[in-house]
Every structure is written in structure tokens, then in C-alpha cells.
Amino acid sequence: MGRNKLLQALTLAFVAVFGTALTIGDSAPHFSLQGSDGKTYQLSELLQEGAVVLAWYPKAFTKGCTIECKSLTEKGHLIREYNASYFMVSVDPIEDVTKFAESMAADFPLLADPDKSVAQQYGVMSPYGFSSRHNVYIGTDGKILAIDTKVNPETAAEDIAARLAELGIEKREA
């Protein structure tokens, strides 16, 4: 096998496993994922309500993810000021996601993508088999508004609220 063919094969294998990175302006891939509250969430339905924020996290019950969930639970009111829905999403099984949400007293749904198909479509799979810590912002038109790849778990809620303001997402009526 020639070097170019080998590089092509490796590139295709990488894309098949980890997905392709989305960029601003791309159409957000549709999803239908089960939430920690027992409901199923579909992007098309969520967009009728406002913008959507997907806060991808690596693994339930790990240190950074626990800190991030705590931030989003304790300071989620900052995000709820905006006309946007927000979710933490991982490739953990729904049972783990539900237990994690309950243990953190999360007042927002956590979503499970156990077959990793949505994570691959969003290009957030890490080489280690879990999702990378990325925030994906989706406008009501279904287009990617922003992607944060350097997420600080301790200030997750404040950072999401600041980004929503920066993106011009309207605040909810009081």
C-alpha cells in the first residue's frame, strides 16, 4: 500500500471513529437522546423553544465532570435568564447519567449518547472512547453559533451565560 493510500485509509478510519469537527455556520446534526428525567429530547423540538447549548462532558462521577455539574446546578439561573435550553451530554449509559444527575441534584436534564453516534456527528469523541469537554451552541435556525473547546468546569455556568450574551441570545421575559 502506497503512502498516500495509507494516509487516506487512516484519515477515513479517524473520521469514522471520532467524527468530523463542526464549524460555525454548519447545520447541527439532529439528535434524539434520552434524558436523566426519563424524557426523550429531540433537537428539532428544542429549537422551537430557543437556542440550545450542549455541554459535552467525558464521564459521570469523575472530578472535573462533578465540578462542572455542580456549577451548572448552583448557578444555572444565570443561563436560564436566556432564551436557551442547556444540557450536559456524555456517552455514558443512561443508568449512569441518571444516577449522576440524582447524586448532584441537577435541576436540568443530562443526556445520554451511549452508542456514541451523536458525539461522533458533533466531532467531540476523544481517542480514549469518551466525549471531550466541549460546549456547542446552536441557534434557532439549527446552525452552529459557537463551539467552546476550552471549558473550565468551575466556571461553566458563568461562561455559558457570558457566551449566550456575546452571541446575542435574547433574555427571557420576566
Q: Which pLDDT tens digit goes with each residue over 2-39? A: 666 644 544 433 443 445 679 999 999 999 999 999 99
Amino acid identity, residue 17?
A: V
96 inside domain: yes
C-alpha span between 162 and 10 (Å, rounded): 39
What pLDDT score does 156 carry?
A: 98
C-alpha cell at 54: 450542549
Domain that holds residue 136: 21-166
111 inside domain: yes
9 inside domain: no
Q: How far is CA 80 from the centre of its chain?
A: 16
104 inside domain: yes
Residue 136 has pLDDT above 60, yes or no: yes
What pLDDT score does 9 carry?
A: 42
CATH number, domain containing residue 107: 3.40.30.10
Crossing angle of helices 156-166 and 63-74, rounded to 10°: 60
**Catalytic position from the list 22, 28, 46, 65:** 65
- The total of structural domains in the chain comes to 1
172 inside domain: no
What pLDDT score does 21 carry?
A: 78
Measuring CA to CA, which residue among 29, 8, 53, 7 is closest to residue 116? 29
Q: pTM here?
A: 0.88
12 inside domain: no
3 inside domain: no
Could you confirm whether 69 is annotated as catalytic? no
65 inside domain: yes
In sequence order, what are the residues at sequence separation of 6 or more whose Cβ sits closer than 8 angstroms to the Cβ of residue 10? none
Q: Which pLDDT tens digit goes with each residue over 78-113? A: 999 999 999 999 999 999 999 999 999 999 999 999
